[in-house]
Amino acid sequence: MTAPQLSVIIPVYNEEQTLPALFARLYPALDKLKLAYEILFINDGGTDKSAALLREQFERRPEVTRVILFSGNFGQHMAIMAGFEHCRGSRVVTLDADLQNPPEEIGNLLAAMERGHDYVGSVRRERQDTAFRRLASRAMNRVRERITRIRMTDQGCMLRAYDRRIVDAITSSHEINTFIPALAYTYAGNPTEIEVAHEERVAGESKYSLYSLIRLNFDLVTGFSVLPLQMFSFAGIMISFIALLFVIYLAIRRLFLVGPEAEGVFTLFGIAFFLIGIVLFGLGLLGEYVGRIYQQVRSRPRYLIQAVLESGEAGGGGQEVEQPGGSATPLASRLPPH
Ligand code: UDP
Ligand code: MG
């Protein structure tokens, strides 16, 4: 079996109401692209008839359909991760099952890849979600912009296209709590974004509760920044510094100006603040070490090589250049056309 040009990955969680409409639009949209494709559905646990519907669809179009059934609910990002691990396409597109991301946009994502981009994100033209979701998401975008190096206009939109190399880098990051679009961004050499349409959910309700949304956003922040840990160091340094000035001022007051006041309580406060500053600084320092351990245990590939230029004989006879991502495409073919 030859590798398809395109893999489409769709996480499914209790989507029995949306799946028939999805099948009816997705397959014709992909057939129209005239390329070899495969669709991977990942059924993320769930309690409704989704798994049975996926099985039926597999029997209808077995040559292009693959279904992964999870034994429980591991979350959208883990479902996509499983899709990444099993897909075979040289380009990979992720998409929601509820038709909020129109499948007809996939061609536009691929067109952007043809222009040499290895990661194509998307921005929802007019987002069709509740006002609360839109507001919360805007606030979260702003926090992320401040404290991480991830630059995405619309982090929540999952209609995205990834080059094989990026998919391989993501799958070799063996992380448990992660936010795939952000991780992909860190590995992208030439990322871009395009505008896409956004529709209302065809049926059913959002599968994200407030709790799981909050957890997801913690994954985004703690997975890509140790700033929350470092804030203790900064606070500690600031408090120590201010307290030191305070102690000096009190010492001068006591020794040269007014003598002992309130039985030395002020002096005691000055010293106490100084010590609190030291303690916070110590906590922050601990945080620095914990942060480093945390980064180490995540064991993400630390870099991705775009190309290695060397003559064939160097290093003693035609050995292959090892890629951190572990993909088998020849290096030259991955250089973006300029
Ligand atoms: N999803 C999933 N596991 C979950 C929650 C959601 O696989 O635990 C899937 C869901 O079936 C859909 C996609 O992730 O295909 C996005 O979910 P949803 O539309 O509910 O999120 P929203 O659009 O409200 O952000
Ligand atoms: Mg949705």
**Domain residue extents for the chain:** 6-215+304-329, 227-298
CB count within 10 Å of CB 261 equals 13
- Would you state the pLDDT for residue 323? 44
- Could you read off the pLDDT tens digit of each residue along the chain, which spans 338 residues? 678 999 999 999 999 999 999 999 999 999 999 999 999 999 998 899 999 999 999 999 999 999 999 988 888 998 999 999 999 999 999 999 999 999 999 999 999 999 999 999 999 888 888 888 888 888 888 888 888 888 888 888 899 999 999 999 999 888 777 889 999 999 999 999 999 999 888 888 888 888 888 888 888 887 788 787 778 778 888 888 888 888 888 888 888 887 777 767 777 877 888 888 888 878 877 877 887 787 777 777 666 555 566 666 544 444 444 444 444 343 333 334 33
- Res 274: pLDDT: 81
What local confidence, expressed as pLDDT, does residue 316 receive?
44
pTM: 0.76
Which residue type does 139 have?
A
Element (H, E) at 193: strand 191-196
CA-CA distance, 193 to 39, in Å (whole number)?
A: 23
Q: Which one of the ligands is nearest to 76 CA?
A: 1
> Residue 129 C-alpha to ligand 2 middle, in angstroms?
8
pLDDT for 246 equals 83
Q: CA–CA separation, 240 vs 276, rounded Å?
A: 7
If you classify domain 6-215+304-329 with CATH, what class do you get?
Answer: alpha beta
* Predicted local distance difference test score (pLDDT) of residue 209: 86
CB 109 within 8 A of CB 159: yes
Query: Which residues are CB-contacts of 97 (< 8 A; sequence separation ≥ 6)?
Result: 10, 11, 12, 13, 15, 18, 19, 22, 41
CA of 85 to the centre of ligand 1 (A): 19
Radius of gyration from C-alpha coordinates of the chain: 26
What residues flank ligand 1, with Cβ below 6 Å? 11-13, 15, 44, 73, 75-76, 79, 96-98, 100, 206-208
Q: Which of these, 130, 103, 133, lies nearest to 22 by C-alpha position?
A: 103
Ligand 1 pocket test, candidate residues 13, 128, 219, most atoms within 8 A of CB: 13
Q: How many CB atoms lie within 10 A of CB 87?
A: 26
Q: Which pLDDT does position 141 carry in this prediction?
A: 86
Q: Where are the beta strands (DSSP E) in 27-186?
A: 37-43, 65-69, 91-94, 119-124, 160-163
* pLDDT at residue 321, as a whole number: 42
What does the alpha-carbon distance between residue 66 and residue 192 come to, in Å, rounded to a whole number?
29
Could you tell me how many residues make up the chain? Answer: 338
Distance in angstroms (rounded) separating the CA atoms of residues 168 and 331: 14
Strands 119-124 and 160-163 turn out to be antiparallel
Kindly tell me the burial class for residue 298, based on how many C-beta atoms sit within 10 Å of its own C-beta (0-12, 13-18, 19 or more).
Answer: middle
DSSP element (H, E) containing 19:
helix 19-32
